[in-house]
Structure 1
């Protein structure tokens, strides 16, 4: 009898764990298109005080990419590159620098 109670408890827990996942698929609105993939793939390299990003957009929507560099020293001016619109299969190289050390670097994306 103990085995039956354990099995029943296990099935009850599994039913609770599986049930929300199955209702999520049903709750989607029929006829709504799935969101289109977006965002250029960017590789960022730091060499000394210079940061460079190589970006490629494999998707159909245009992506406006911009490189942002935050400098380590309080007196060193942070830098943002000029934004570049990358169409489908577009490639771009973005570059910025600090006078001294770099604290952080990132690329922003904007759907155009």
Structure 2
């Protein structure tokens, strides 16, 4: 008779646990809501134009490597625009990128790419 009482009490306990609402039951924490913000990325670059020469200094304060490239658009139609080779900027590093046109520079910018 004792065995039937213990089986009955276990059955009642299981039935009570199964009848609890989902929120009341312990479960793994699942993050709800908007995703977390992306990790900051990208070197900060300063570009200067002096006559037909372009110089850019890029400093990467973040822990992920940034691949930067200097792009120059020349003012004259016959002057060739140039895209410099990409350079890796590691954490806490500064690099110097240079390029030039034969005559005037119309615009210059630096592109960023995750390594």
Q: TM-score, normalised by structure 2?
A: 0.69
Larger Rg: 2
Aligned equivalents of 1:91, 1:81: Cα separation in 2: 17
Aligned equivalents of 2:107, 2:90: Cα separation in 1: 27
Q: What 5-or-longer segments of structure 1 have no aligned partner? A: 1-25
Indicate yes or no: 2:107 matched with 1:84. Answer: no
Equivalences, count: 84
Pairing partner for 1:42 from 41, 45, 50: 45
For 1:22-81, what per-residue CA distance to the aligned partner results, in whole angstroms no more than 9, with x for missing partners?
Answer: xxxx8415xxx4310000000000000000000100001110000000000000000111
- Give the match for residue 98 of structure 2: 95
Residue 89 (structure 1) shift: 0.5
Pairing partner for 1:61 from 61, 64, 75: 64
Aligned equivalents of 2:45, 2:34: Cα separation in 1: 32
Q: What 5-or-longer segments of structure 2 have no aligned partner? A: 1-31
Aligned equivalents of 1:72, 1:39: Cα separation in 2: 28
More helix by share: 1
